[in-house]
Structure 1
């Protein structure tokens, strides 16, 4: 059992009493520490300045009956304890500053003492998880002189049983949205609406969330901010675990995710917990989830649904309760149709799907992000850097034009501003520097063009698979796939392409099915013949 920490006001009437006669009456705050089966480790006893002597007396009496209980006297400034706004702001501010540790302690908000207003405010703070605990209500013994400390009732709030008071959490929600957007400079209406909905989902749901969008659109950053928000609200106690699934290859992929037993395979010299177990009671962010193999997809589905799974080489299941946030730069609907992504897993992770727009779709956000990046540079390097008027106009005109492709999205923009800030003499970015940077960006994006001599007629790999996946491929696999696509681009049918590709080995096989052999190769890379036909060369 975790140590119990009680938070509550003194009862200026119920807790009052002087002389030995006070021990003959039931005093709720003192009685709360007299239950032998429920030891209170610490009490945060709130009082106003005019009741300090009573608070000190209660502190001394608790020390006499329960020396293991530490009583902290907390003086609060309340001009009118019956003013709802004043009391709520006072308690809210105290709770926000208090170092709650829900992993090691449990918290009881005592609502028997204090004014009715204070009791209502404690209820609201517990319900909203600003105060991460339960309500405790105490009652006197049925016979006043029975010598027992009375009764204790714990109330764990079930939000579905209570009506929501209109506008109660409006300020909290605005704060949470600003928390999520911190570091995301945006004027885009669509993106602002998206962030507002993500805030509601992040604080109200533990269901899986899928963040789609191009590489560099900010999926990882937003996942981290959602974790920080949930952590600040005491909704989770575990860590944030991030992994790029494109880096998980071969036999070690399952071991990295689900752990393994010693000796499970060559090189497994010790037990390994795996990333899913590391994320217990926290958030697991699987970026580029579409890159997972089919076996890992099946294991992940079981882990999400049942909260348990088998590590590689183990004969016993282990448990892990985590919230999943997944990221992808691919259209998983197309992957499901092609048979490379499990339909049941997709159904499980797409309850909340958000498509993050790329930088080219948010041209109005380029300017505030430039300012944000310059401020970040100044903070990190202790040097202010600014554009002169002519240079800023030239950079913004290009950055917001159709010529600015921003293929790497915010990564491209961040690198560009970092280069300009580093090369600026005297903290001033001039026109010559901007013009050189524009040419550098044009050159970089021209290099990204996948069509080169010898690949004419074949669809670009980046168009088919996405730039992130192509970047993660070995050069051998990429060149082989490009060669296959060139043959497919000039063939009339799947069978025709298969005959050209497997001509030499046909005589060695008793059963010849070139079309099926090619189809399976394409499926391995998340492609289909129909898909190749749909995309122009």
Structure 2
């Protein structure tokens, strides 16, 4: 493999006159070709046209100390070597014009010479793989004119200590986004891990879908805190529930208004979008916005400008948007209630936050989290006794626990029990009273939340009996009952249920098989055909 160096002629460091005195000084471009253990086979040397005289001297000296090094010179025209955009464009143009053969050559990008702007550009282009290989840094040292050199590999995975630090920072960020709760739901953990990456790397809008109380607002706050901690935001977090905005009030609240824009507008108002400048704007229930507000919001997202209500001059605000909704925005688009172009703009990063019922394995850690939150606010610790904890968890996991408002219901429930706990201990009596309270609160929604299978089984089983059945048994049994109800006889039901396996048996007794299955749950075919709820 040949060693190929890419660098810039240093108008200061490579410049030490034309006489013999120059051989007593370290000159980085010449010096890097003087290391026998690091032979340079080719050098791609960029230079400014005004340094052509210096270039001729350096080329002659490189030929003297390393005659086998092939030097290719490339002029770069920069009116201002401190203009970042100009320097980057010039070096980028050189990079894309070259054909790099990484199979045959080892490439090294010398960031020792050039202005600080040029060095940064070389680094960025190497990191983005426009320039292949490793970074090369040289410096004067005890070796006289040769100096020393150091190779920097940008593959951070090669540096175990750095890699482990970044991994820890990522884990810490994920834990922060989850409010420090060690959740056990694999899908939710995977979702939050991606949110962490996107939060750090992207300023594009994010859309958080999920039912009321699933934690959309809490997650938005955590994203803001994480970005602010990393120095990516300097402004405020501005939160607004769009369901509270109607008519002129919506326009004024979001985009501000000029004095006299409407009756009662005695003074101008900046509006929430301008308050969120350099910060984060969380629009919860974005599906409740009117179409006019949606059109103005789209322009504000794309162009960073908008018109205050009643005004004729645009104003600007540079903010990041997180939108939240519990509604199906695609269905709202079909109904003509939500702009398709706005949905396309905010749908780049969309995350579906699951309900508490879908994260049942996270009930325990969230109960502990709520208890800890209460202790911080109240100034004293509260905990369950063993029996009370078991009773509360049994109810929390049961079909009777609807958790209709999700984590808000859980927060309210724990707060009530902790407040009523005597001596910091939640007892069985406190839990029993809380369960009754929750059941009463959810009573009107029981039928609404029932599946067709649960409604069918309620004709034959009490709530406590259903609570003792696994989901698998409830689903299977409800399908068997449906077949029985549609059949003229036990034998007819058996022929339908065992339509494949019956052909593989020498002795067919489908009726007996159905009868035995039903008996396992205390049911008979006659009882199913004339249901009588126990």
- Give the alignment's TM-score, normalised by structure 2: 0.55
Q: Which residue of 1 aligns with 2:3?
A: none
Over 3 Å counting, the alpha-carbon distance change for 1:449 and 1:396 in structure 2 is: closer
Does 2:172 align with 1:175?
yes
Deviation, 1:401, is 1.2
Which secondary structure state, in structure 1, belongs to the residue aligned with residue 247 of structure 2? coil
Structure 1 stretches of 5 or more lacking a match? 1-13, 15-25, 27-136, 141-149, 452-537
- Is the Cα–Cα contact under 8 Å of residues 185 and 372 in structure 1 kept in the other structure? no
- Is the Cα–Cα contact under 8 Å of residues 211 and 326 in structure 2 kept in the other structure? yes
CA distance in 1, matches of 2:363, 2:210: 17
Q: Which residue of 2 aligns with 1:352?
A: 349
Deviation, 1:392, is 0.6
5 Å matches for 1:254-333?
254-333=251-330
Deviation, 1:374, is 1.0
CA distance in 2, matches of 1:225, 1:213: 17
Structure exhibiting the larger radius of gyration computed from Cα positions: 2
Which secondary structure state, in structure 2, belongs to the residue aligned with residue 285 of structure 1? strand
Q: Which residue of 1 aligns with 2:389?
A: 392
Does 2:232 align with 1:232?
no
Deviation, 1:152, is 7.5
Q: Which residue of 2 aligns with 1:339?
A: 336
CA distance in 1, matches of 2:403, 2:412: 11
| Bigger mean CA offset, 155-164 vs 246-255 | 155-164
CA distance in 1, matches of 2:389, 2:191: 30
Over 3 Å counting, the alpha-carbon distance change for 1:297 and 1:158 in structure 2 is: farther
Which secondary structure state, in structure 2, belongs to the residue aligned with residue 362 of structure 1? helix
**Paired positions, count:** 311
Deviations 1:399-428 (A, max 9, x none): 011110000100000000000001011111
- Is the Cα–Cα contact under 8 Å of residues 209 and 352 in structure 1 kept in the other structure? yes
CA distance in 1, matches of 2:349, 2:275: 24
Deviation, 1:203, is 0.4
Q: Which residue of 1 aligns with 2:208?
A: 211
Deviations 1:430-451 (A, max 9, x none): 1111111001000001245798
Structure 2 stretches of 5 or more lacking a match? 1-12, 14-24, 26-110, 130-153, 158-162, 449-534
CA distance in 2, matches of 1:435, 1:189: 32
Over 3 Å counting, the alpha-carbon distance change for 1:273 and 1:184 in structure 2 is: farther
Over 3 Å counting, the alpha-carbon distance change for 1:184 and 1:291 in structure 2 is: farther
Which secondary structure state, in structure 1, belongs to the residue aligned with residue 321 of structure 2? strand
Backbone CA RMSD of aligned residues = 2.7
Which of the residues 427, 431, 448 maps onto 1:430? 427
Does 2:391 align with 1:371?
no
- Is the Cα–Cα contact under 8 Å of residues 284 and 322 in structure 1 kept in the other structure? yes
Over 3 Å counting, the alpha-carbon distance change for 1:219 and 1:425 in structure 2 is: same
Deviation, 1:139, is 7.0
Does 2:162 align with 1:165?
no
Deviation, 1:185, is 4.5
Which secondary structure state, in structure 1, belongs to the residue aligned with residue 282 of structure 2? strand
Deviation, 1:171, is 2.9
Which secondary structure state, in structure 2, belongs to the residue aligned with residue 425 of structure 1? coil
- Is the Cα–Cα contact under 8 Å of residues 181 and 365 in structure 2 kept in the other structure? no
Deviation, 1:153, is 5.9
Does 2:187 align with 1:190?
yes
CA distance in 2, matches of 1:412, 1:368: 15
Over 3 Å counting, the alpha-carbon distance change for 1:450 and 1:310 in structure 2 is: farther
Deviation, 1:160, is 8.3
Q: Which runs of 4+ in 1 moved over 2 A?
A: 137-140, 150-172, 182-185, 447-451
CA distance in 1, matches of 2:126, 2:314: 33
Deviation, 1:165, is 2.3
Over 3 Å counting, the alpha-carbon distance change for 1:400 and 1:151 in structure 2 is: closer
CA distance in 2, matches of 1:152, 1:197: 33
Which secondary structure state, in structure 2, belongs to the residue aligned with residue 193 of structure 1? helix
- Is the Cα–Cα contact under 8 Å of residues 245 and 292 in structure 1 kept in the other structure? yes
- Is the Cα–Cα contact under 8 Å of residues 371 and 382 in structure 2 kept in the other structure? yes
Deviations 1:228-268 (A, max 9, x none): 11111111211111000001012110110001100111111
CA distance in 1, matches of 2:219, 2:400: 28
Deviation, 1:182, is 2.4
- Is the Cα–Cα contact under 8 Å of residues 138 and 153 in structure 1 kept in the other structure? no
Over 3 Å counting, the alpha-carbon distance change for 1:152 and 1:221 in structure 2 is: closer
- Is the Cα–Cα contact under 8 Å of residues 210 and 353 in structure 2 kept in the other structure? yes
Which of the residues 427, 436, 439 maps onto 1:439? 436
Which secondary structure state, in structure 2, belongs to the residue aligned with residue 257 of structure 1? helix
Over 3 Å counting, the alpha-carbon distance change for 1:385 and 1:172 in structure 2 is: closer
CA distance in 1, matches of 2:238, 2:247: 21
Deviation, 1:138, is 9.3
- Is the Cα–Cα contact under 8 Å of residues 236 and 277 in structure 2 kept in the other structure? yes
| Bigger mean CA offset, 181-190 vs 370-379 | 181-190
Deviation, 1:183, is 4.2
CA distance in 2, matches of 1:158, 1:262: 48
Q: Which residue of 2 aligns with 1:155?
A: 120
Deviations 1:185-242 (A, max 9, x none): 4211110000000000000011110000000000000001111111111112111110
